[in-house]
Amino acid sequence: MRMLTIAARELAGLFRSPVAWVVLAGAQLVTGFIFLLHLESYLQVQPKLIEAGAGPGVTAFLVPRLYGAAAMIHVFAIPLLTMQLIAGERRLGTLPLLLGAPVSTLEIIAGKFLGLLGILLAMVALTALMPLSLAFFTDLDGGAVALAITGHLLFVAGAGALGLYLSTVTREPTIAATATLGILLALLLLGEWGRTLGEPWADLLGWPAPATHLEPFLGGLFDSASAVFFVLFAGLFVTFAVRRLDNDRLQR
Amino acid sequence: MPDTTPLIDATGLCRDYGALRAVDAVDLRLERGEIVGLLGQNGAGKTSTMDMLCGVLAPTAGAIAIDGIDLLEEPRRAKRALGYLPEQPPLYPDMSVRGYLAFAAALHGVHRAGRRDATDRAMALCGLTDVARRPIGNLSKGYRQRVGIAQAIVHDPAAIVLDEPTVGLDPIQIRAIRALIADLGREHGIILSTHILPEVQALCSRVAIMHHGRILHGGPVSAFTDEAASDRITVTLRRAPVDAEIRAIEGVTDIEHLGPGRLRLRLDPTRGTPSGSPKPPCTPAGGWSRWRRTAPRWSSSSWNSRARIRRRRRRHEDAHDRCP
């Protein structure tokens, strides 16, 4: 259970540093503002929707817009949380403590990833508070909200795994953060570009982008292919991270 | 029956960084209850060797057994018997001393129930009880070094590896850390690396001298102070006799010619203790005009490269030879 020991230290370390608090607060502030903006616009169009006799309810209107924006904001926030994971240990010179202890590289990386998931879970929960707060005033489509939360969690876990891998590549946390952000944005833009080119480019260029696979979840659809994509995406980069750290021992 | 398995038994350790061979065929043994000093200049390959002994770095070739368990085959079991203080103590500045040591204990498989006792014991041994709640980042360098050592012993390992434990400390701190290491040496086997000879003389029972990735000399520290223990001497003679004459001297087993008049004599290690320097057989017929003995000499303040010692010795001897 040394994996949990590492995870617990990582999570405690993240919460002891001001970075995590600032990032969480900043992301929450911006997401909250966007949530209020969309809520306001829903309230404005609501009478027209009622007149028309059809149209999306508050969940269908708000959830995709809110989570679309939140995912975008978190693309900027996650690199700041992942950059320290291994690069920070390298800078502090604490890596030999982990490598010299009777734990495998897999346990080190898995522990790091679990610790990171802890803070990402806090991020997902804080975002979920916004749509859930509407439950006090109106009926929500519980299924749709639950799916959006699931999709959001898978999305941040995937992005976090990428950040974790890039943190193992360098000893400079800022480089790890910049690279993570750069790759996440590049994947996103590639998907958008594909969309403007039409088929078959939309599918082809959009496929590697996590944002593409978040969409079905936001639309109230549990797309198992997308769920598998996120699991593979995260698994791939966690594996890469293990290999990279192993390489430290072998090559350096 | 006492356990005679060596705590650390490394054979043929090699480590390449690209084309550079940083560690070359190093054999190192650590027995129970001894402190072995790994002495060498910066860049001699000490840190690479220690990293390999502790499983932080994989050797290019060679085998390491920790308490009889192969480190490369069964790293998890082998590392349990090891405590390691790297050159830069692996400390998290944001953690408290107690929290950090508890983490290190958990990482090394100390069970939850025993963790508090283990941290208390390590803190007491290293004189950290007063700063238990302080964040490590606020501690002085001497205290940090102690936390580093506490981290290496918190799980009560049989073998402790310390990489330059006193580097960068002031003289008082150095004395305190040395006393601590000497204390630990009574119960644990310790390998420590340093580039300071007096440190080895003060602490170690055995020394391995490393240079350019190789162990040049391994043996008891007493060899430095006890000239009788050396099995080779270099002599400079103005008119060297034929080899047969030298071989006739009791105790001489081999002769090597180093240059004009310079000979290295290999001595029989079982010979009787010579009284002072060997008696110069000043037979006029032989025409030996000078017999000068130069035993291995080591600077008292720090270890110098062999080349420098050799150069200095040569200068010394040249001056000597010019004297009438």
Residue contact B84–A93, C-beta within 8 A: no
Residue contact B103–A9, C-beta within 8 A: yes
Evaluate if residue B286 carries a pLDDT over 50.
no
Is B58 in contact with A248 (CB distance < 8 Å)?
A: no
Phi, psi of A103 (to 5 degrees): -130, 150
Question: How far away is chain A from the Cα of B271, in angstroms, using its nearest Cα?
Answer: 45
A235: left (phi over 0), alpha (psi -120 to 50) or beta: alpha
CA-based nearest residue in chain A for residue B85: A97
Report the pLDDT averaged over residues B11-29: 90
Evaluate if residue B293 carries a pLDDT over 70.
no
The DSSP output letter for B96 is B
Half-sphere exposure of A14 (CA within 13 A, CB side): 27
Structure tokens at B308: 């420098």
Q: Which one is predicted more confidently, B70 or B220? A: B70
Residue A243 near chain B (CB below 8 Å): no
> Most distant CA pair in chain B: distance in Å?
82
pLDDT, residue B315, reads: 52
Question: How far away is chain B from the Cα of A108, in angstroms, using its nearest Cα?
Answer: 10
pLDDT, residue B275, reads: 47
Residue B229 near chain A (CB below 8 Å): no
ipTM of the complex: 0.88
Say how many C-beta atoms besides its own lie within 10 A of residue B62's C-beta: 18
Residue B155 near chain A (CB below 8 Å): no
Structure tokens at B189: 């086997």
pLDDT, residue A144, reads: 87
Structure tokens at B96: 């408290």
Query: Which residues from B are below 8 Å from A95, CB to CB?
Result: 56, 90
Point out the least confidently predicted range of A177-181, A240-244, B242-246.
B242-246
The Cα–Cα gap between B196 and B39 comes to 7
Confidence of residue B321 (pLDDT cuts 50, 70, 90): very low
Residue contact B55–A100, C-beta within 8 A: yes
pLDDT, residue B288, reads: 54
Is B147 in contact with B91 (CB distance < 8 Å)?
A: yes
Residue contact A93–B104, C-beta within 8 A: no
Element (H, E) at A197: helix A173-197
Is A218 in contact with A153 (CB distance < 8 Å)?
A: no
CA-based nearest residue in chain B for residue A90: B90
Mean pLDDT of all residues belonging to chain B: 81
Is B162 in contact with B181 (CB distance < 8 Å)?
A: yes
Residue from the list B79, B90, B107 with its beta carbon closest to the beta carbon of A5: B107
pTM value is: 0.81
Report the pLDDT averaged over residues B208-234: 77
Mean pLDDT of all residues belonging to chain A: 89
- Kindly report, residue by residue over A98-149, the tens digit of the pLDDT: 999 999 999 999 999 999 999 999 999 999 999 898 888 887 788 888 999 9
The DSSP output letter for B297 is -
- Kindly report, residue by residue over B73-105, the tens digit of the pLDDT: 888 889 989 999 999 999 999 999 999 999 999
Residue length, chain A? 252
Size of interface A-B (CB pairs under 8 A): 75
Residue contact B91–A2, C-beta within 8 A: no
Report the pLDDT averaged over residues A234-246: 94
Say how many C-beta atoms besides its own lie within 10 A of residue B224's C-beta: 20
Query: Which residues from A are below 8 Å from B86, CB to CB?
Result: 93, 96-97, 100
Angle at B65 between CA B63 and CA B66, to 5 degrees: 145
Q: Which one is predicted more confidently, B123 or B228? A: B123
Structure tokens at B29: 């043994």
Q: Which one is predicted more confidently, A67 or B226? A: A67
Query: Which residues from A are below 8 Å from B90, CB to CB?
Result: 92-97
The Cα–Cα gap between A120 and A159 comes to 10
Q: Among B18, B53, B19, B16, which Cα is nearest to B208's? A: B53
Report the pLDDT averaged over residues A184-204: 84
User: What three-state secondary structure class fits A194?
Assistant: helix
- Structure-token match 């720090």, residue found: B302
pLDDT, residue A139, reads: 79
The Cα–Cα gap between B226 and A71 comes to 73
